[in-house]
Amino acid sequence: MESQPLLRPKSVAASQLMILMGIIFVSFNLRPAITSVGPLVSSIRADLGISNGAAGFITTLPLLSFAALSFLAPKLSQRFGNERLVFVGMLILLAGIMIRSVGFAFTLFIGTACIGIGIAVANVLLPSIIKKNYPLKIGLMTATYTTSMSVFAAVGSGVSIPLAQGYGLGWQFSLLIWAGLALLAVLFWIPQLRESNTNVRAVQSDEVNHREPSVWRSSIAWQVTFFMGLQSFMFYCLVAWLPEILTSSGLQLSAAGWMLSIMQLAGLPMSFFTPVLADRFRNQMWIVCVIGVLYTIGLGGMLIGGSMIVFTLSVISIGLAQGSCISLALTLLGLRAANAKQAADLSGMAQSIGYLLAAIGPIVIGLLLDRTETVTAALLVFFLVALFMVTAGLGAGRNRTVFESKS
């Protein structure tokens, strides 16, 4: 008798489809539970009677959770498996969304911390899962999940006020609605749990046969890390302070708010196309150069100012640069790794430091704006950060993996 294939073509296709759907639904959940809070901060503060400082901590707490858990996630994944850990992360996210919406100050912060923990796990491990399942399609798959993430990040910001005020749901139910999306991610991820035991055994066997040095000792890993960290610094600083910078430069507050939306929407096409292009070339240094040019045009226009047209073009240019930055940084986590374990370790390293910079960045810029009472100093800091980011990116964009000694 002929031996039957272990997996029939239809089974393989169905399995790949379930992996794809799982990745997409997990990526849907990586931002809206956070971005939906910003427009509702004033309502939350008034309802719970918390201070402005405590209200600001609502947006900083997830980033601190990202920084802490990004360091631990790769170590936990080696013991429990990427797929199982992502499933637990989505459950924690689901629980966090529900706890946050109970309506007390202490549940608000506990739930927010849980949300940060759940998202951090998926943030770190998705590049590793993509590296393992789609080693020849890293760019396309990274483009798919970063674009999905970015779209729902914008949706989260956009629907909060209409849900809370237009439909009279209040801030609690407006935030609770994202529990439904988290539940879908949990359900779509269940088929991946059977992969965990096999993957854990494979990783442990590989560790016994071949122990690699820590990625923290790799120069290119540090270049990827600084590129990731500095782009996170730029993004969260501009999300927090762009309206203030623009109003200080003469724009109306409503116009400044629209500029923030335009910036995020402008980045969506670049979020998709940058990883696809990055995967087709031997190195990504030219993409880093384009990002540098876009940031120079955008920040230069903001510094010059003078008209609505100049500000609009500047914001679009910055948005294009940011959309390309985040997707390229996530793509590099796969391209610079030789295997899924390296991808998880590199992702944990880059995102732990990256989100730590993201957490302190808006505070630093805020203090600078208070001290100088002008936007010029803040924009010059952005120029300097962009320069360092491009320098790190040129190193990270070389065609080599973290433990190779030559390009």
pLDDT one-digit tens code per residue, 306-322: 788 999 999 999 999 99
Q: Residue 398, exposed/middle/buried by CB under 10 A (0-12, 13-18, 19+)?
A: middle
Rounded distance, CA 109 to CA 59, Å? 10
Contact 336, 346 (CB under 8 A): yes
What is the overall mean pLDDT for the chain? 87
pLDDT at 208 over 50: no
pLDDT at 69 over 60: yes
pLDDT at 1: 42
Sign of CA dihedral 357, 315, 147, 403: negative
Comparison of pLDDT for 183 and 255, the residue scoring more? 183
Rounded distance, CA 251 to CA 202, Å? 58
pLDDT at 201: 53
pLDDT at 34 over 70: yes
Q: Residue 313, exposed/middle/buried by CB under 10 A (0-12, 13-18, 19+)?
A: middle
pLDDT at 343 over 60: yes
pLDDT at 12: 66
pLDDT level of residue 199 (50, 70, 90 thresholds): low
Q: Of the segments 39-43, 178-182, 200-204, 205-209, which one has the largest average pLDDT value?
A: 178-182
Comparison of pLDDT for 62 and 202, the residue scoring more? 62
pLDDT at 195 over 80: no
CB atoms within 10 A of CB 293: 12
- Mean pLDDT value across residues 357-386: 88
